[in-house]
């Protein structure tokens, strides 16, 4: 090797080393059910996060003068609190900068202390109020909570649907009982007769329960919980001849749920989503097009995870660090640009300020937004 070749190689090495030193890899965990009855929700969350990561990487996003290359560490929590704790430990051990998860309230609550011990910010779509009221500095919620969602559901049942006899059923999970409590509290102040029932998804006789509800002539059924118990209850109700309005919260508010119902949701089915639909803003429409090109039609939680990843990236940029302990304080102090949610700020508990709840009705086998029912 002659002297000029040696100098050229040395310069190339210096340039390459300099380029590498101006880059940083950012790993963000995504934790949700990727298997089992709620797998579609988890996959929607993971896909929305992937669209955000692809966009950030294509846009040459910089943190503290270094180009950030984002990657996801996706974990299946199987909608189980125990598995959620195990997932949290794995993600903490993998050195993630932040976590978007979990989907189920019971899982988010169980996993939160693990993230808190590691100083890792946890941004969740879980709606049970307890999640952000455990005194942890790492818990953040990107949706309205069940106090807000329960009030919207109670208003829907009481004032918009003008229900006279209501059957409230919950699946005895953290989320199910929590949202049912809020709805029951919200309808008590009006002239509305309500009956409450708790059931276990694994041991319930749904045919018997449906017959009791049908015999009660209830004009409305509110179900608090997810599809494991909600779907067989709905199918059994329709089989028993009940045309009662079936009202649910966000764990059963997705077009995939409607498809699984195989016609049972095509009449008198109402649900809520705690979050802004992608159709409200032009940036949301652009997101939908990007999502469709990669994964097909977005799910109910795809837009929230997409926004969530962008918020976490902006917090790192604002805090000039990918170290969770360093940028964590910016999440409670700064304002962020949710591309779909609009401006996003968190209060001292970690709850989103001015959370939005949207009501949908199934019409012709599709969920249709109903602003007149708010």
Burial class (CB in 10 A: 0-12, 13-18, 19+), 64: middle
Out of 13-27, 107-121, 269-283, 312-326, which region has the weakest mean confidence (pLDDT)?
A: 13-27
- Tell me the average pLDDT across 177-192: 88
pLDDT of 88 over the 60 cut: yes
pTM of the model: 0.89
pLDDT of 342 over the 70 cut: yes
Distance CA 123, CA 28 (A): 11
Out of 20-29, 70-79, 322-331, 352-361, which region has the weakest mean confidence (pLDDT)?
A: 20-29
Q: Which domains does the chain have, with CATH numbers?
A: 3-143+279-344 (3.40.50.2300), 147-273 (3.40.50.2300)
Distance CA 256, CA 372 (A): 24
Chain position carrying tokens 């969770």: 324
Distance CA 195, CA 169 (A): 8
Which residues lie closer than 8 Å to 299 by C-beta, 6 or more apart? 40, 41, 43, 44, 45, 47, 48, 254, 255, 256
For residue 245, the cross-strand partners are: 220
Q: Compute CA 243 distance to the chain's CA centroid, rounded to the nearest angstrom.
A: 30
What is the band of 71 on the pLDDT scale with cuts at 50, 70, 90?
Answer: very high
Q: What pLDDT is stored for residue 2 in this prediction?
A: 53
Closest by Cα among 289, 295, 306 to 56: 306
What is the band of 16 on the pLDDT scale with cuts at 50, 70, 90?
Answer: very low
pLDDT of 264 over the 90 cut: yes
- What percent of the chain lies above the pLDDT cut of 90? 82
- Tell me the average pLDDT across 295-299: 93
Long-range contacts of 183-189 (CB under 8 A, 24+ apart): 183/150, 183/153, 183/154, 183/157, 183/222, 183/224, 185/150, 185/154, 186/150, 186/151, 186/153, 186/154, 186/155, 186/158, 187/154, 187/157, 187/158
Condensed to tens digits (0 to 9), the pLDDT of residues 117-160 reads 999 999 999 999 999 999 999 999 999 999 999 999 999 999 99
Chain position carrying tokens 């999970």: 173
Burial class (CB in 10 A: 0-12, 13-18, 19+), 20: exposed
């Amino acid at each position: 090797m002659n002297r000029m070749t040696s100098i050229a190689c040395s310069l190339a090495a210096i340039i390459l080393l300099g380029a590498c030193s101006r880059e940083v890899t950012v790993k963000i965990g995504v934790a949700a059910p990727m298997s089992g009855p709620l797998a579609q929700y988890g996959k929607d969350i993971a896909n929305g996060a992937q669209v955000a990561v692809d966009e950030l990487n294509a846009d040459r996003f910089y943190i503290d003068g270094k180009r950030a290359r984002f990657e996801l560490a996706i974990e299946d929590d199987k909608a189980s609190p125990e598995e959620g704790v195990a997932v949290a430990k794995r993600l903490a051990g993998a050195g993630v900068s932040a976590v978007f998860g979990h989907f189920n309230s019971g899982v988010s609550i169980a996993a939160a202390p693990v993230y808190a011990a590691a100083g890792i910010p946890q941004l969740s779509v879980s709606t049970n109020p307890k999640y952000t009221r455990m005194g942890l500095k790492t818990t953040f919620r990107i949706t309205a909570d069940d106090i807000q969602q329960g009030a919207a559901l109670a208003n829907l049942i009481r004032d918009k649907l003008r229900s006279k006899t209501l059957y409230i059923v919950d699946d005895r999970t953290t989320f199910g009982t929590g949202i049912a409590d809020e709805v029951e509290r919200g309808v008590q102040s009006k002239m509305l007769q309500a009956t409450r029932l708790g059931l276990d998804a694994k041991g319930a006789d749904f045919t018997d329960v449906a017959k009791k509800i049908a015999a009660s002539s209830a004009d409305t059924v509110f179900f608090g919980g997810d599809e494991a118990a909600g779907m067989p209850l709905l199918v059994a109700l329709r089989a028993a001849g009940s045309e009662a309005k079936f009202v649910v919260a966000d764990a059963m508010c997705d077009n995939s749920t409607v498809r699984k119902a195989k016609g049972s949701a095509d009449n008198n089915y109402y649900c809520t989503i705690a979050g802004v639909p992608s159709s409200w803003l032009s940036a949301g429409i652009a997101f939908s097009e990007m999502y469709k090109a990669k994964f097909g039609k977005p799910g109910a939680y795809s837009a929230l995870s997409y926004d969530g990843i962008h918020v976490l990236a902006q917090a790192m940029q604002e805090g000039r660090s990918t170290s969770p302990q360093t940028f964590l304080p910016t999440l409670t102090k700064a304002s962020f640009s949710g591309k779909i949610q609009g401006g996003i700020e968190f209060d001292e508990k970690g709850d989103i300020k001015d959370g939005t709840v949207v009501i949908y009705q199934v019409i012709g086998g599709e969920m249709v937004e109903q602003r007149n029912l708010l």
